[in-house]
A and B are shown apart, each in its own frame.
Chain A
Amino acid sequence: MTVVTDVVCPLCGSVCDDIEVEVEANKITKVIKGACAVGKSKLLGHERIKSPMIRVNGVLKECSYDEAIKKAAEILAKARRPLLYGWSSTVCEADKAGIALAEEIGGVVDNTAAVCHGPSVLAIQDVGLPVCTLGQIKNRADLIIYWGSNPANAHMNHMKRYSYISKGYFLPGGKKDKKMAVVDVRETSTSKMAELFVQVEPGKDFLLFSAVRAALMGYEDIIPAVVGGVPKEKIVTFANMIKNSRFFITFFGMGVTQSRCRQNNIVNAIQTTRAGHLHTKGTIMPMRGHYNVNGFNQVCTWETGYPYSVDFARGYAWYNPGETAATDLLGRAECDVALIIASDPASHFPADAVKHLARIPVIQIDPYENPTTEFADIVIPSAIAGIETDGSVYRMDNVPIRVRKVVDTTYMTDEKIVERLLEEVRAIKAKGGVK
């Protein structure tokens, strides 16, 4: 038995890097400390896809890596409108290869940000983002705001490591030195811990941001008696908490990106943060979901100029979410092939988008069987990035972290699989395409 320290958790955007595990017979057998329930579940592992598979007469039949990759490359090489989607539960090195593959075949490459913080990216492109690292927050922020986000369930170590419960250099008392406010449509495990819980009606966040912003800018008199179900007095109390803090941070989640007004909510959230700067210091940060959803956006930006939903059909990078996002392409029944890697759109896309997966060839690259496998025609199992292979990932605050290899594997890595696909596609094209 060996104890491995400083293991990095490849689950959520918090990317905890202080985990200790026990390894026995090349398997993680125990998580000693550091991981939350969700991270622990991933580290201890689940049943894997045992072998590459190709669907024959409706049934997935085992085959070799070579056969699966060759067959997948043939499908990709002759595709007219391929979609290459996922890329968030893997490392930047695989993402880089994926973008090269999309360019080679004139496809659309998109990651899970499109159904997560895509609207936040659109807002940031509009108005910028006053942001900092999680270390700054831990050491300086005395007012923590979670808006449309429930870290007690989704980013379970976030409060302990970086925000409300953590002890910082200038805030040695931990939560004794801090305050927390939560805005949500329902009471959550997080809101129960907060000093102030602001319960907003669903779809009314934009109105509430505007009211808080007005209060911060000195226009309390124009705020109606009730905004989005929240009484004016509570809005003023909330604005005063911000004014009286030394450093505030707003973490926001899917509650504001997936509801009415989408990116406009985030534009307003960012401008509300700026209004807070009339009184004090403060920043704002999206609570990124997958551990490397941000990393794909970084890689895609430096490779193509755009962060996600990039269409290479014209021979150059074209970016227009709403037209080129994965849900748009599937919902319009536009793509004729889908390569799905390190994600599960069959579970997380709307029904009409999922139905199109039944009409087209689907190539899946993933360590685990999941609902997308139901639609897959070629399944290529991969090593678990961050447990069986190392690589670079980006935490939610844009800090790059190297995930570690903890155990050995015989599975091919995502990066290697995608590179092999690219080589095969180029070889097919060099020979004049698929006959």
Chain B
Amino acid sequence: MILISGRTIEQGENLEHKMSEDYFNAVAVCELNEKDMEKLGIAPDNNVKVKTLYGEVVVKAKKGKGYPEGIAFIPMGPWANAVVSANTKGAGMPSYKGLDAVITKTDEAVLRITELFGRYKAEAWKK
């Protein structure tokens, strides 16, 4: 799958309310084309693991409108960025859009911001 990210109205409404349940529900999701969901055996509200070369993250699947087959969308935010590389290839800008990703159904839970960052903090000191 090709993974893209971007703004949504709900993401924008909670831009300055990011520790809220509304922001979590708006952003920790992955929107997919209906046919892709069938192919991957994913139902709406299933948790899915999105994995790229740079990381993996668990988010809730959502049926998206208007996506061509093969494209998955996570609204911009901490969950989308969990699988993005910090290598800016000399431009200062990371590759936020157009990542190759593998998406699978999972029983793992979607991490809250404090849990996700708790993991980052632990990993930060390993290196």
Partner-B contacts on A (CB < 8 A): 11, 37-38, 41-42, 46-47, 114-115, 118-119, 122, 150, 153-154, 156, 185-188, 191-192, 199, 202-203, 254-255, 257-260, 262-263, 309, 321-325, 327-328, 330-331, 333, 344, 346-356, 358-359, 367-371, 373-375
Contact = CB atoms under 8 A, between A and B. Distances in A.
A123 to B, nearest CB: 10
A156 B73 CA distance: 20
Given A186-B67, A358-B121, A115 B93 contact: yes
Chain B binding surface SS class: loop
A118 B90 CA distance: 12
A114 B96 CA distance: 12
A359 B68 CA distance: 41
A94 B16 CA distance: 19
A374 B117 contact: yes
Given A153-B8, A354-B81, A369-B19, A349 B86 contact: yes
A115 B120 contact: no
Nearest to B16: A368
B43 to A, nearest CB: 21
B98 to A, nearest CB: 4
Interface of B: 2, 4, 6-9, 12-20, 54-55, 65-68, 71, 73, 76-78, 81-98, 113-114, 117, 120-121, 123-125, 127
B98 A260 contact: yes
B4 A371 contact: no
A355 B18 CA distance: 19
A348 B94 CA distance: 10
A416 to B, nearest CB: 20
Contact of A202 (B2, B7, B124): B2
Contact of A119 (B12, B93, B124): B93
Given A37-B9, A254-B97, A328-B88, 7 more contacts: A41-B13, A258-B97, A322-B91, A327-B88, A359-B125, A371-B78, A373-B19
Given A37-B9, A356-B124, A370 B91 contact: no
Contact of A347 (B13, B71, B78, B98): B78
Given A358-B120, A367-B16, A351 B88 contact: no
Given A46-B17, A156-B9, A352-B54, A259 B95 contact: yes
Top 5 A-B pairs, shortest CB-CB distance: A187-B66, A325-B92, A331-B86, A321-B92, A322-B90
Given A359-B125, A370-B16, A322 B68 contact: no
Contacts of B98: 202-203, 259-260
B120 A354 contact: yes
Given A154-B7, A202-B98, A260-B98, A41 B14 contact: yes
B32 to A, nearest CB: 11
A185 B6 CA distance: 12
Contact of B92 (A260, A322, A347): A322
A37 B13 contact: yes
A188 B31 CA distance: 13
Contacts of B7: 150, 153-154, 254
